[in-house]
Structures are given as structure tokens and as C-alpha cells.
Amino acid sequence: MKKIVITTQFSTYDATDELPTDIQNLMAQAVEVRKKAYAPYSNFRVGSALLLENGKIILGSNQENAAYPSGLCAERVAIFQASTLYPDSKILKMTISAASDTNTTVAPVPPCGSCRQSIAEYEIKQGTPIEIYFMGEKGSIYKSDSLKNLLPFMFDNSVL
């Protein structure tokens, strides 16, 4: 038997004012769109902002539905909108902010498994990594240089 050892690396920031200026702006937009999430069932709101290579910023918030799991996460709302509006523009950076209506979310909230797979699809398609910054309502922010840190064994078309 052999073992596979996988290491991942993240950067951490103690507060948003430590982030590069462009990321502060992007995260602020994720926070604002988070407040517009439709989350009457989970009371957990998520906002995402993407920076595309053409300079456009695309926003998304989670959208729930009584017919679970018909809703959609903020990250996928933003990614699918970017692909629809600007299909030839690469996603450079993504910010994610999550907050609960019932308590203060202080731990960084990464993308869920479905969102990780969707981000992986676009990272593979465009051939370049997507920087991902994620946080709770307040507290530390984590940065991943690529989705591969969050999903080291990505399912992609090479297995088909």
C-alpha cells in the first residue's frame, strides 16, 4: 500500500482592511448582495462577487425555494450569470461572505461541495486558477489561490 499526501495552502487576513484594495471592494460588494439573499428557510445568507478579466463584476446571492433543493447558492448564481453574460471572459477572483440571521458568523465559510464542483468546471474550462476569498459575517478571511486547494481530487472531463 502507498499513501498519498495532499497539502493545501491558504493565506489568512484578520480583517477586510488587510486585503488588497481591489479585494476589499469586491468583498464589500459580496457583503451588500448577501443582504439581498432570499433565505426564508435557512436564515443563512450568502453573497458572492466575481471579478472577470474584462473588468466586469458579477454578483450573486443565495436563492432558496420551498421545494428544496430547487434553490441555488450565491456562488453558482454569480458563476452562471458570468458565463451567460460574458462567456469568453475568464473569472479572475471570487469573494464570498456568509451570515446567519440568528447568530454572528465569525468563521470563514467556504463554498459547499456543489459550488466547489461548479467552480472547478470553470477553472478547468478557462485553464487558469480562480482566486477565492471567503469569510463569515466578521472575523478572518481565507484566500485560496485556486479551487484545487478546496477540492484536490476534482471530477473533470479527464475521467469520462
- The residues that are catalytic are 75
DSSP state, residue 75: H
Measured on CA atoms in the order 31, 77, 40, 132, is the torsion positive or negative? negative
Q: Is residue 68 part of an annotated ligand binding site?
A: yes
Q: Is residue 107 part of an annotated ligand binding site?
A: no
Q: Is residue 137 part of an annotated ligand binding site?
A: no
* Cβ–Cβ < 8 Å for 117, 155: yes
* Burial zone of 2 (CB within 10 Å; 0-12 exposed, 13-18 middle, 19+ buried): exposed
Q: Is residue 149 part of an annotated ligand binding site?
A: no
Q: Is residue 28 part of an annotated ligand binding site?
A: no
DSSP state, residue 127: T
Cell of 38: 432570499
* Cβ–Cβ < 8 Å for 126, 1: no
Q: Is residue 66 part of an annotated ligand binding site?
A: yes
Q: Is residue 54 part of an annotated ligand binding site?
A: no
Q: Is residue 13 part of an annotated ligand binding site?
A: no
DSSP state, residue 149: G
Which residues make up each annotated binding site for Zn(2+)? 73, 112, 115
Binding-site residue set: 62-68, 73, 112, 115
Which residue ranges are tagged as binding site for substrate? 62-68
